[in-house]
Amino acid sequence: MRIMIDTNVLISAVLFPNSQISLLIKKVTETHVLILCSYIIDELYEVFHRKFKDRIHLLDKFLYKLAYELIYTPTKIKAVEYPEI
């Protein structure tokens, strides 16, 4: 199964490496495929630059060790190409 995890969950895992969330992410990567989109990666760095500037090295280390599939998120989406939800 392919699983995408929210930015806030990833932030918790980076800041609290021994937490239940970290264990959950480890389990996901062992038994499933973790999906991260480029938007989430960008958002992670934005939040860390704004709130945890002194801990960016932890984010770098976390992402380096994390097994995931990266999906590109377009920066501009043409709304006319998609039906209304």
CB 30 within 8 A of CB 16: no
pTM of full prediction above 0.75 = yes
3-state SS of the chain is: CEEECCHHHHHHHHHCCCCHHHHHHHHHHHHCEEEEEHHHHHHHHHHHHHHCHHHHHHHHHHHHHCCCEEECCCCCCCHHHCCCC
Burial class (CB in 10 A: 0-12, 13-18, 19+), 10: buried
The one-letter amino acid at 23: L
Convert the pLDDT of each residue in 32-85 to its tens digit. Answer: 999 999 999 999 999 999 999 999 999 999 999 999 999 998 888 777 777 776
